[in-house]
Amino acid sequence: MAIWPAQWLGLVLLVSVWGSSAPASLLRRLGEHIQRFQESSSLGLGLSPGTVAIPKQGWLEQPLDPFNASDRRSFLQRYWANDQHWTSQDGPVFLHLGGEGSLGPGSVMRGHPAALAPAWGALVIGLEHRFYGLSVPARGLDMAQLRFLSSRHALADVVSARLALARLFNVSFSSSWICFGGSYAGSLAAWARLKYPHLIFASVASSAPVQAVLDFSEYNQVVSRSLMSVAIGGSAECREAASAAFAEVERRLRAGRATQAALRADLVACGSLNRAEDQAEMLGALQALVGGAVQYDGQTGAPLSVRQLCGLLLGGGSNCSRSTPYRGLRRAVQVVIHSLGQKCLSFSRAETVSQLRVTEPQESGVGDRQWLYQTCTEFGFYVTCEGPRCPFSQLPALPSHLELCEQVFGLSASSIAQAVAQTNSYYGGQTLGATQVLFVNGDIDPWHVLSVTQVLGPSKSALLIPGASHCLDMAPERPADSPSLRQGRQNIFQQLQTWLRLAKDSQVRGGI
């Protein structure tokens, strides 16, 4: 089942302007903003008639429960196709997997893997993840439906989509299918090769956190280290300024109602900061803001780079007053909310819970309810800041994260811990047994510590790019790209060349 709409660009330009600003939500909104900015900017370069083929949007009818043949319910899963470089039916297919958000036409038009397609005459297809974007089952997001949302269900979709798309596009049986993905979708790419090696020839997994973890305290440890990296504009003074800024925020929270009111105005909060739980939400969101500057450092569309953030925190000079870091953090908040198109930031825990309980899908949103459900039932990934190496507020954040799973879904802390352990047991964590997978990471990206950064064997490759942030290798190329990033992309190209040569040799041997 395929649908080809005449107008698609409007979908690219949608930017979420929700008021929710829980820590994880703010990071996800930054990621969505950057993705949409890059897609709209790059696609806009070639929209004059005849200059570039418009990507095709289609829909596949997928079983809601692929593990129960007697269940006849189904949903429509969206995909995008770019066949402008596809030279023959036996050419390779680059399957770009979507993750925890909407997948737009830019996934098959610009950046990686689309930039790699011309060299091999590849067909590029982007597959949106079930329950995200427009690929949401008709009955919505209630608990009865969400039990069909998991990485295992998503991998089953990859299998049925791969078979259906091969028929739809008349792809040769001898064609090599290579999965690409970034972040959670990068994990899916690696797991697709692990679980279905007879259908997926190889995978490129960018910034893929294949190790599930309940307490992700290492996230802020990497943020702290990256804030001191001179190569990206950080310094020891910047790291200390970040600590001083958070200390000043906490001092003002304790100083009384009048000072709290001034703090609320400084940080453009939508409501009061009287409740302890709302104060914790605010501190967590500020940590996410600083973490986002590191996670998305140097990316087109990112509101703040590490260099810019450090410039704000240090006030542009060496003789900084005690209040300079606080004023810099306040300015950083203003920059980010302006970039996201929001008037204020909500730090209300009650509002966060209320929004996460909404079961109607948000077409232009990033799927907060769905992703929270996946973290509660599979991955954890809860960013905390309790150790001495964390430069931010020392708060017992893990109980708050676990309580959110209870408040929204009724899931206990023990069940979440058990789910994380089961995920690692099922996929193998950082020692997964898949071959012909290339793991690509940046060493300033906080998520690289949950990925694979060392070569595990002759057919289990890993690439760690100095100074690169989260999924930066997948972004469109720019003149300002660092030599290490350019070399990293060249290494990806060479690995694909090796794999596809292997596939061709295998076909020749098989035909003799």
The Cα 61–Cα 74 span in angstroms is 6
Q: For residues 442 and 299, give the distance between their C-alpha atoms in angstroms, rounded to a whole number.
A: 13
3-state DSSP: the chain helix, strand, coil percent, rounded to 5? 50, 10, 40
200 and 194 Cβ atoms separated by less than 8 Å: no
Q: How confident is residue 3, by pLDDT bands cut at 50, 70 and 90?
A: very low
CA atoms within 13 A on the CB side of 319: 0
The residue ranges of every structural domain in the chain are: 56-213+430-507
Q: How sure is the predictor about 370, in pLDDT bands with cuts at 50, 70 and 90?
A: very high
Across the range 410-422, mean pLDDT stands at 97
**Upper half-sphere CA count for residue 381 (Cβ side, 13 Å):** 25
User: Which of the 8 DSSP states describes residue 441?
Assistant: E
SS3 label, residue 55: coil
Over residues 168-207, the pLDDT tens digits come to 999 999 999 999 999 999 999 999 999 999 999 999 999 9
Q: What is the DSSP string of 246-277?
A: HHHHHHHHTS-HHHHHHHHHHTTBSS---SHH
In whole angstroms, give the CA distance from residue 294 to residue 305.
Answer: 7
Report, as residue numbers or ranges, the catalytic residues: 183, 445, 470
Spatial CB neighbours of 96, under 8 Å, sequence gap ≥ 6 = 103, 107, 108, 113, 114, 124, 125, 126, 127, 180, 181
pTM over 0.75: yes
Query: Above pLDDT 70, what percent of the chain?
Result: 88
Please answer whether residues 208 and 230 qualify as being in contact, where contact means their C-beta atoms are separated by less than 8 angstroms.
no
Say which CATH class 56-213+430-507 falls into.
Answer: alpha beta
Retrieve residue 248's tokens.
């000043």
Please report how many Cα atoms fall inside a 13 Å half-sphere around the Cα of residue 294, on the Cβ side.
Answer: 27
Residue pLDDT, tens place only, 230-268: 999 999 999 999 999 999 999 998 888 889 889 989 998
**Burial profile 485-503: b = 16 or more Cβ within 10 angstroms, e = fewer:** beebbebbeebbeebbeeb
Which of these, 150, 151, 159, lies nearest to 179 by C-alpha position? 159
DSSP bridge pairs for 366 = none
Tokens 């790209």, located at residue? 481
Identify the three-state secondary structure at position 78.
strand
pLDDT per residue over 6-56, tens digit each? 333 233 222 222 333 356 677 777 888 777 777 766 555 444 444 456 789
pLDDT of amino acid 365? 53
